[in-house]
Amino acid sequence: METKKKSVSEYVQEYGAFIALIVLVVGIGIVSPEFRTWSNFLSLLRQSSINGFIAFGMTCVILTDAIDLSVGSILGLSTALCAGMIASGFPVVPAMILALIIGTGLGLVSGVLVTKGRLQAFIATLVTMTVYRGLTMIFMDGKPISNLGDSFALKLVGKGNIFRIPIPVILFVLAFIAFYFMLNKTTFGRRIYATGSNSKCARLAGVDIDKTKIIVYGISGFMSALSGLILLSRLNSAQPTLGDGYEMDAIAATALGGTSMSGGRGKIQGTLVGVLIIAVLNNGMNILGISSYYQDVVKGIVILIAVLSDRNR
Amino acid sequence: MRIEMRGIDKSFGSNQVLKQAGFTLESGEVHALMGENGAGKSTLMKILTGVYTKDAGTVLVDGKEVNYKNPQEAEKAGIVFIYQELNVMFDLTVEENLFMGKEIHGRFGICDKKAMQKKAQEALNILGVNISPKTVMAELSVGQQQMVEICKALMADAKVIIMDEPTAALTQSETAALFKVIESLRKKGVSMVYISHRMEEIFELCDRITVLRDGSYIGVKNIPETNMNEIVKMMIGREIGERYPSRNVKIGKEVLKVKGLTRKGTFHDVNFSVRAGEVLGVSGLMGAGRTEIMQAIFGNLSYESGTIEIDGKEVKISNPRQAMEHGIGFITEDRKTEGLMLDKSIRENISLCNLRRISKSSVISREAEKNMVAEAIKDLHIKCFGAYHECNNLSGGNQQKVVLAKWILTNPKILILDEPTRGVDIGAKKEIYSIINKLAAQGVAIIMVSSELPEVLGMSDNIMVVREGEVRGIISYEEANQERVMTLATGGTI
């Protein structure tokens, strides 16, 4: 009585993105021996974590029927400030923690603009995206910061391994578990879905819509800053344009995973699959030596197919 | 125009909704199509107008077989379906809605606004409604929006107009206005299919009734030769007995007291109280401010002055969450846009108001949730495949029961029900009345806003009549009758 019967086509629809991921991995694996190595697999996962962190936060925002265009700029600004602090001799670990707090705060600002300012999410985060990027440029004077010294902690987050598994990959898995738990097992997760599904109904059921949205933007900001720290560690320098355009990959991964752009429907597992599809495409096409011009076209077409097959939902 | 539908079959997946359904419409008649929710009335009409394709059967229009592929084709042939959820563009003006896709072009292909406004005004005048073509749709009442839809159908030269629950959202006076329009259309030879649950209306208005049950044709009756009991029996296949179940409740002490509640331009100096176990009916015309008063009590609408007391203590309620903490539950008039998350399951909908009850330090217990929801489904007889059934696919009555369930589980002291049986079939209506009675017996103070006078009269201990934002009177059950309530509601005195 508790289970809902599903037809084959419904299964294909529900797991369409997952099937696509398997097909891609097997297909590219057959063509390229380089692709199917353990080390490439790990580096693929490590690459995907950068987009993954942001996409998890983005998924929550989109589930509330909003959008966050500012993620790339938050990544840029929080990383720049962190690099600035380290370069000027501030202790590394506190600087990194501060970067996460700053990222969260920058996200909260978007949330307040959307809720208390009654701005449309697209416009509000277009504003914060632009302003944060501008502030990054001002702070860095348009130049990179690379004299970050030789801190163990900073190296660890991006380049470290535990049992030969890269730390970004471990963090990625932990983040997935945390988001899965939050969305599926907690009252806050229910409120996120309710807000996006029918905000009027949710409000009348006692859900504080504004608070829910503000927190979700805070989460998105935190994840962007976390992603930035890993980039900072890997690159050992901060660029003023760091994170530029990252919102697009995060939104693409969320859409690929079947999350409805009008909120209320979607799963974090889907986003994980979406993130991996994008990573496999990037990694695979690089290995196969496909020109980057063509890569974007292929990526666009894959997203189109995924969204078309999702249409009936 | 004469329409005949024979042997219509239709399935959605494995669910057969029409089995050999049939229907005949004569020229110039007003024909009621009745049946419980899920009987297939709307589906049958959607097949006629090309929204759905039939699996089997024939449709004859003036003796010729037709097969409309989409609503536009049906409209060209003169058959227009006015849906319950009106098909209007709220941000556009009346004139723009009326001429959508049929704009009058002047020189250089530019839209001739003046000509369109003039024609729109003429068409609205013919219907005898007082609406300016320049008004933005969203500013009109539901009744007025419906008039615009009818006007649109007439401008398309409709010979057959199908109306699905046209009076569900209308007040008594708007209903009267609609009936006048239907009457005049009948004289012009326009035939009408009238889908409704409201017996009184159908017997007042229609020439014949076709009854469907479980997707099958049951029979057709001429109005003068039948009566309500016979029709109800045809609809549900058995006798239903008393429409309003009796209740024997000892009314307790005062739970809610509202004093001088005022919101400029909406309601003014509202005073009333409700006691434990009492059902206070709230009657009035649509737009009288009934819903707004209730929204204010529930903290969803601000007010400028006045006080609300619960159990003798003054409370400050500025949002629904606080209202819930004070033990108020609120079932809104529009379950589709405010009452439910339609794309979510029964489980998620019921849980939403009761998250605290099923969680420990914010983590939800699946077990507690499963038990709570299963019990609610059983207690309220919600017909579904289980807790994971999506609310979209439930009938109106069952959707309403889900909304009831989620609020009942919060154990409210005060339950406000705004139009609790709108768009609900007779069987489910009676169940909802029984649930209300049961809650009253448990000592819940109940406020029931309703536009259906028989329902208010049949269910209430006291009836509060609201007109233009003011309480015109509170009449006790013994003193109340249709005339007295209507007199107060329309501005007279008793």
| pLDDT for residue A5 | 53
Q: How do residues A250-307 score in pLDDT, each as one tens digit?
A: 999 999 888 988 889 899 999 999 999 999 999 999 888 888 888 889 888 887 887 7
Q: CB of B386 within 8 Å of any CB in chain A?
A: yes
The whole-number average pLDDT for the span B400-417 is: 95
pLDDT surpassing 80 at residue B285 = no
Where a domain ends, among B202, B236, B270?
Answer: B236
Q: CB of B176 within 8 Å of any CB in chain A?
A: no
The whole-number average pLDDT for the span B396-420 is: 94
Q: How do residues B439-486 score in pLDDT, each as one tens digit?
A: 999 999 999 999 888 889 889 999 999 988 999 999 998 888 877 887
Sheet holding B305-310, edge to edge: B267-275, B254-263, B305-310, B313-315
Helices (H), B215-319: 228-236, 290-297
pLDDT surpassing 50 at residue A215 = yes
**Cα A79 to chain center, whole Å?**
16
Residue B247 lies in a domain: no
SS3 labels along B183-200: HHHHHCCCEEEEECCCHH
Please check whether residues B277 and B155 belong to one and the same domain.
Answer: no
Q: How confident is the model at residue B425 (pLDDT cuts 50, 70, 90)?
A: confident
Residue B428 carries which side chain, given as an amino acid letter? A
Residue B477: left (phi > 0), alpha (psi -120 to 50), or beta?
alpha
To the nearest whole percent, how much of chain A has pLDDT over 70? 94
pLDDT surpassing 50 at residue A313 = no
| pLDDT for residue B449 | 95
Q: Residue written as tokens 């993620």?
A: A71
| pLDDT for residue A311 | 58
CA angle A263, A264, A265 (to 5 degrees): 95
Nearest to A205 among B352, B370, B386 (CB): B352
| pLDDT for residue A13 | 62
Q: CB of A203 within 8 Å of any CB in chain B?
A: yes
Q: How confident is the model at residue A12 (pLDDT cuts 50, 70, 90)?
A: low
Please check whether residues B270 and B388 belong to one and the same domain.
Answer: yes
CB-based contact A203 B300, cutoff 8 Å: yes
CB-based contact A206 B385, cutoff 8 Å: no
Q: What is the CATH number of the domain that holds B34?
A: 3.40.50.300
Please check whether residues B86 and B7 belong to one and the same domain.
Answer: yes
The least confident of A221-230, B131-140, B256-265, B411-420 is B131-140
Q: CB of A30 within 8 Å of any CB in chain B?
A: no
Q: Residue written as tokens 């914010």?
A: B362
Q: Work out the number of other CB atoms within 10 angstroms of the CB of residue B365.
A: 14
Please check whether residues B182 and B288 belong to one and the same domain.
Answer: no
Residue B244 lies in a domain: no
CB-based contact B388 A264, cutoff 8 Å: no
E strand map for B62-177: 64-65, 79-82, 160-164
DSSP-assigned beta bridge partners for residue B445: B414
Q: How confident is the model at residue B239 (pLDDT cuts 50, 70, 90)?
A: low
Q: How confident is the model at residue B315 (pLDDT cuts 50, 70, 90)?
A: very high
Q: How confident is the model at residue A1 (pLDDT cuts 50, 70, 90)?
A: very low
Residue of B310, B49, B311, B7 whose CA lies nearest to B162: B49
CB-based contact A204 B332, cutoff 8 Å: yes
Q: How far apart are CA A71 and CA A58, in angstroms?
A: 8
The token pair at A53 is 């962190």
Q: Which residue has the higher pLDDT, A242 or A16?
A: A242
Task: State how far residue B373 is from chain A, nearest Cα, in angstroms.
Answer: 11
CB-based contact B344 A206, cutoff 8 Å: no
Q: Are B329 and B415 in contact (CB under 8 A)?
A: yes
Torsion of CA A77, A82, A85, A89, to 10 degrees: -150
Residue B242 lies in a domain: no
The token pair at A259 is 């999350």
Please check whether residues B189 and B281 belong to one and the same domain.
Answer: no
The least confident of A28-32, A72-76, B276-280 is A28-32
Q: How far apart are CA B214 and CA B21, in angstroms?
A: 10
Helices (H), B380-447: 396-408, 426-441
| pLDDT for residue A9 | 62
CB-based contact A1 B352, cutoff 8 Å: no
String of b and e for B391-411 (b: at least 16 CB within 10 Å)? Answer: beebbbbbbbbbbbbbbbbbe
Nearest to B343 among A186, A204, A264 (CB): A264
Q: CB of B72 within 8 Å of any CB in chain A?
A: no
pLDDT surpassing 70 at residue A312 = no
Task: State how far residue B31 is from chain A, nearest Cα, in angstroms.
Answer: 36
Q: How far apart are CA B277 and CA A206, in angstroms?
A: 25
Work out the mean pLDDT of chain A and round it to a whole number.
90
Q: Which residue has the higher pLDDT, B282 or B248?
A: B282
| pLDDT for residue B355 | 93
Please check whether residues B259 and B232 belong to one and the same domain.
Answer: no
E strand map for B236-378: 254-263, 267-275, 279-284, 305-310, 313-315, 328-331, 359-360, 363-364
User: Burial level of B321, CB count in 10 A (0-12/13-18/19+)?
Assistant: middle
Q: Which residue has the higher pLDDT, A74 or A21?
A: A74
Q: How far apart are CA B376 and CA B352, in angstroms?
A: 14
Residue of A294, A302, A260 whose CA lies nearest to A67: A260
To the nearest whole percent, how much of chain B has pLDDT over 70? 98
Instruction: Tell me which H or E stretch contains B415.
Output: strand B414-418
Q: How do residues A95-145 score in pLDDT, each as one tens digit?
A: 999 999 999 999 999 999 999 999 999 999 999 999 999 999 999 988 899
pLDDT surpassing 80 at residue B381 = yes
Q: How do residues B175-215 score in pLDDT, each as one tens digit?
A: 888 888 889 888 888 999 999 878 888 898 999 999 998 88
Please check whether residues B428 and B294 belong to one and the same domain.
Answer: yes
Residue of B470, B424, B245, B269 whose CA lies nearest to B331: B424
Residue of A149, A170, A167, A148 whose CA lies nearest to A158: A167
Q: Are B206 and B183 in contact (CB under 8 A)?
A: no
DSSP B211: E
Residue B243 lies in a domain: no
Looking at mean pLDDT, say which of A210-214, A241-245, B129-133 comes out highest: A210-214
| pLDDT for residue B232 | 80
CB-based contact A201 B353, cutoff 8 Å: no
Work out the mean pLDDT of chain B and round it to a whole number.
88
Q: How confident is the model at residue B241 (pLDDT cuts 50, 70, 90)?
A: low
Q: CB of A46 within 8 Å of any CB in chain B?
A: no
CB-defined contacts A:B, below 8 A? 85
The whole-number average pLDDT for the span A50-71 is: 96
Has this prediction a pTM greater than 0.90? no
| pLDDT for residue B486 | 79
| pLDDT for residue B127 | 76
Residue B241 lies in a domain: no
Interface test with B, best of A186, A195, A198, A199 (most B CBs within 10 A): A198
Residue B357 lies in a domain: yes
Please check whether residues B292 and B427 belong to one and the same domain.
Answer: yes
CB-based contact A193 B353, cutoff 8 Å: no
Please check whether residues B232 and B258 belong to one and the same domain.
Answer: no
pLDDT surpassing 90 at residue B228 = no
Q: CB of A190 within 8 Å of any CB in chain B?
A: yes
Q: Are A158 and A49 in contact (CB under 8 A)?
A: no
Residue of B nearest to A207 (CA): B321
The whole-number average pLDDT for the span B324-342 is: 92
DSSP A4: P
Where a domain ends, among B184, B208, B236?
Answer: B236
pLDDT surpassing 80 at residue A29 = yes
The whole-number average pLDDT for the span A170-198 is: 95
Q: How do residues B147-169 score in pLDDT, each as one tens digit?
A: 888 888 888 888 999 998 888 77
Please check whether residues B258 and B155 belong to one and the same domain.
Answer: no
- CA dihedral for A127, A128, A131, A137, sign (positive or negative): negative
Residue B296 lies in a domain: yes
Domains held by chain B: number: 2
CB-based contact B319 A265, cutoff 8 Å: no
Please check whether residues B195 and B87 belong to one and the same domain.
Answer: yes
Residue B180 lies in a domain: yes
Domain ranges, residue B63:
3-236
Please check whether residues B227 and B269 belong to one and the same domain.
Answer: no
Where a domain ends, among B236, B271, B291?
Answer: B236
Q: How do residues B24-58 score in pLDDT, each as one tens digit?
A: 999 889 999 998 766 888 899 999 999 999 999 99
Q: How do residues B88-129 score in pLDDT, each as one tens digit?
A: 888 899 988 888 877 888 778 788 888 888 888 888 887 777
Q: How confident is the model at residue B237 (pLDDT cuts 50, 70, 90)?
A: confident
